[in-house]
Structure 1
Amino acid sequence: MNKKGILLVNLGSPKSTKVEDVKEYLDEFLMDEKVIDYRWFFRSLLVRGIILRTRPAKSAEAYKTVWTDEGSPLIVITEHIQKKLQKLVDIPVEIGMRYAEPSIKTGIQKLVDQGVTEIVLFPLYPQYAMSTTETVVDKAEEVRKAFFPNVRINYVQPFYDRDIYINCLAESIKEKLPEHFDALQFSYHGVPERHIYKTDPTKTCNLNDCCQRENNPSHQFCYRHQCFKTTELVLEKLGLSREKAIISFQSRLGKDKWMEPYTDETLMSLGKKGIKNLAIVCPAFVSDCLETLEEISVEGKEQFLHGGGESFHYIPCLNDEDRWIDVVKTLCEEKLEEFYLV
């Protein structure tokens, strides 16, 4: 019998808040052709010639506001998930990060050192995107072919519309919603519009009505559709009308056209529209990180209040909630079963 194991993969984080460590992390992250999809020369010119000259110092200051005694929130939370999951399954569970350490190679090596030959790899992203799920799978395959050719890997697919995930997310949100709120904002991580076109196998995407078409083959690769679908299903579980919800996209970089509406601009405009009490959630993330704890919970709050809002309530990610660990376990077990069917 081949020994099986689980590898949980998240985005990654600098190893410290030192500027040089943040710069090293950003270089690996932004030089990924799935993140900034320019040709290498132009990507290097942008990242190493412009962005890395100023951004690391600013990002280091931001990381300092969310860093814990244990380290990076994203890494720490992923470790908590791993430890809780390990108590529920009888096979090895390790973690890997797409960028920085512990790397995907490090995670696979730890499993192989325990005799594992078949791995369920779980990219911890609910929705599919070129810069998240796709780059994780590509990197894992690159590492497997180069260093572990005898290892088989089965990948957990995006779970944006799975009942077990939607129920888990809706229950978590419901418990944390304030008693009084005018709107619930769903802020998803943004991507450049061209990424949506690039991942569309049918090449028919118009970033308009195609997201609502039934049985559209593009949907399994369309980040925009999947964000809308997650929102729709969660609202249904919460019993909230679409009029009570706001969808926006955060964390844009550069001057290219990114998915709209933008979260920062939306937050600054809500007060003038009569929305004084806001709850906000970030369902593109399962673990709180810089983009939720600083960009939304701190900067977003300031933007909303400056725009005339009065009450801002950030709803944390699923993090290491027991119900989320149960979802992770179920999704992994489904992929473990497929090994037995081959």
Structure 2
Amino acid sequence: MKGILLVNLGSPDSPTAKDVKPYLDEFLMDERVIDVNRILRNILVRGIILQTRPKKSAKAYAKIWWDEGSPLIVLSERFAQKLRQHTPMPVALGMRYGTMTIKNALQELKDQGVDEVLLVPLYPHYAMSSYETVVVKTMEEQQKHFPEMKLTTLPAFYKNPDYIKALSESIEEGLKDFDYDHILFSYHGIPERHIRKSDPTKFHCKIDGSCCGINSVAHNTCYRHQVYDTTEMVKAYLGLPEEKTSTSFQSRLAGDPWLKPYTDYEFERLAKEGKKRLAVITPAFVSDCLETLEEIAMEGKEQFEEAGGEAYMHIPCLNDNEVWVAVMAKWVNEWEASGVLPV
């Protein structure tokens, strides 16, 4: 019997330092998030970051927390519930980090008689700190606890026409009452070294754009290439003028070069160049989370207005959008019927 495992990022159980600390510990100790040797990572995370960050992060979570709980968890659960209405297969939801574990989600599927699982990492693009870590963790749990299960993984869907259509239409809906000067596609940032580590050729990725137009197997795992592809395909679908759009990267840690341009710098640059009405979309995520709701929707608005901007619109992620649910239902049902996966 076939079943579907959806996996998203995860969340603390509450917006308190007590619950944020173990969540951050699991997240930051992931070798695909902070990719240094374990001894150094332990010193950095447990000796430095976790001494102050939980209290600060708890305040940020408190600003976006809903009565029902973590927005990312609630939105992911809504999406899963809607998907269940469009497929005869069991659908379970797990999180890469936190107490809503992948192991428990696999157990839920097993208890319903599932022995063949389609893993759906809820990330459109391939990055070692998001898509890859979900796949690796799920494989580890499956091999250790559910060896009788067969596991298939949905590919990164960043350029799938169905996804691009759903994303574009959600952006169009978000813009219908907003007269914008500029649209900023802001993606989650990653260290430049992650791009090089993910390059199977070890020479193709230059991280300057010169390599993106040259066909290569490296594109299958190049986050930078994939996000720019998404931007270009959405621009083409919506007919957006080149001069009214740009791409940037939010969230970074000090000390290493991360993908540029940085979103906070773009807020200032655009405002000072006379772009007074800014719309921001965050397509690295399919579900709104701390990063989109606090860092972009709240802090981003303040940064843009302080730099001289006048109007700011954060367009929500796809979340439990009906078109997006229908797209996922199409993909999983095609897999059930014929084993075909979207490319």
Q: Same fold (TM over 0.5)?
A: yes
Contact residue 156 and residue 335 of structure 1 kept, 8 A: no
What is the total number of aligned residue pairs between the two structures? 339
Gaps of 5+ in 2: none
Gaps of 5+ in 1: none
Correspondences of 1:4-83 after superposition (within 5 Å)? 4-83=2-81
- Counterpart of 1:98 in 2: which secondary structure? strand
Task: Tell me the CA shift for residue 95 of structure 1.
Answer: 0.1
Match of 2:192 in 1: 193
Task: Tell me the CA shift for residue 309 of structure 1.
Answer: 0.5
Residue-by-residue CA offset, 1:200-221 (whole Å, 9 max, x unaligned): 0011211123443242211110
Contact residue 87 and residue 333 of structure 2 kept, 8 A: no
Distance 2:25 2:148 in 1: 31
Most deviating of 131-140 and 212-221? 212-221
Contact residue 211 and residue 219 of structure 1 kept, 8 A: no
Match of 1:128 in 2: 126
Residue-by-residue CA offset, 1:164-223 (whole Å, 9 max, x unaligned): 000010011001114411100000000000000000001121112344324221111000
Distance 2:72 2:60 in 1: 14
Match of 2:86 in 1: 88
Task: Tell me the CA shift for residue 337 of structure 1.
Answer: 4.2
Note if 1:279 corresponds to 2:279: yes
Contact residue 334 and residue 340 of structure 2 kept, 8 A: no
Residue-by-residue CA offset, 1:110-136 (whole Å, 9 max, x unaligned): 000111100111000001000011101
Code of the residue aligned with 2:195 in structure 1: it is: I
Match of 1:116 in 2: 114
Correspondences of 1:156-235 after superposition (within 5 Å)? 156-177=154-175, 178-204=177-203, 205-235=205-235
Task: Tell me the CA shift for residue 269 of structure 1.
Answer: 2.2
Code of the residue aligned with 2:196 in structure 1: it is: Y
Residue-by-residue CA offset, 1:118-165 (whole Å, 9 max, x unaligned): 011100000100001110110011001110000011111100000000
Code of the residue aligned with 1:332 in structure 2: it is: V
- Counterpart of 2:279 in 1: which secondary structure? strand
Distance 1:292 1:186 in 2: 12
Distance 1:324 1:211 in 2: 31
Code of the residue aligned with 2:19 in structure 1: it is: D
Distance 2:125 2:235 in 1: 17
Task: Tell me the CA shift for residue 20 of structure 1.
Answer: 1.3
Task: Tell me the CA shift for residue 338 of structure 1.
Answer: 5.3
Most deviating of 265-274 and 89-98? 265-274
List, as ranges, runs of 4+ consecutive aligned residues in structure 1 with deviation greater than 4 Å: 337-341
Match of 1:249 in 2: 249
Task: Tell me the CA shift for residue 23 of structure 1.
Answer: 0.5
Match of 2:335 in 1: 335
Contact residue 279 and residue 313 of structure 2 kept, 8 A: yes
Code of the residue aligned with 1:199 in structure 2: it is: S
Cα pair distance change 1:111/1:184, threshold 3 Å? same
Match of 1:314 in 2: 314
TM-score (norm 2): 0.96
Task: Tell me the CA shift for residue 265 of structure 1.
Answer: 1.4
- Counterpart of 1:209 in 2: which secondary structure? coil
- Counterpart of 2:312 in 1: which secondary structure? strand
> Which residue, 75, 96, 100 being the options, matches 1:102?
100
Distance 1:107 1:319 in 2: 20
Distance 1:211 1:97 in 2: 34
Residue-by-residue CA offset, 1:37-78 (whole Å, 9 max, x unaligned): 000000111111111011100000000011111100000000
CA RMSD of aligned residues (A): 1.3
Task: Tell me the CA shift for residue 244 of structure 1.
Answer: 1.1
Distance 1:316 1:188 in 2: 13
Contact residue 270 and residue 308 of structure 1 kept, 8 A: no
Code of the residue aligned with 2:333 in structure 1: it is: E
Distance 1:191 1:179 in 2: 30
Distance 1:340 1:158 in 2: 14
Most deviating of 276-285 and 208-217? 208-217
Cα pair distance change 1:334/1:38, threshold 3 Å? farther
- Counterpart of 2:115 in 1: which secondary structure? strand
Distance 2:100 2:206 in 1: 39
- Counterpart of 1:153 in 2: which secondary structure? strand
Distance 2:121 2:24 in 1: 20
Match of 1:151 in 2: 149
- Counterpart of 2:88 in 1: which secondary structure? coil
Distance 1:263 1:179 in 2: 21
Match of 2:303 in 1: 303
Code of the residue aligned with 1:23 in structure 2: it is: K
Match of 2:137 in 1: 139
Q: Percent same amino acid among aligned pairs?
A: 54
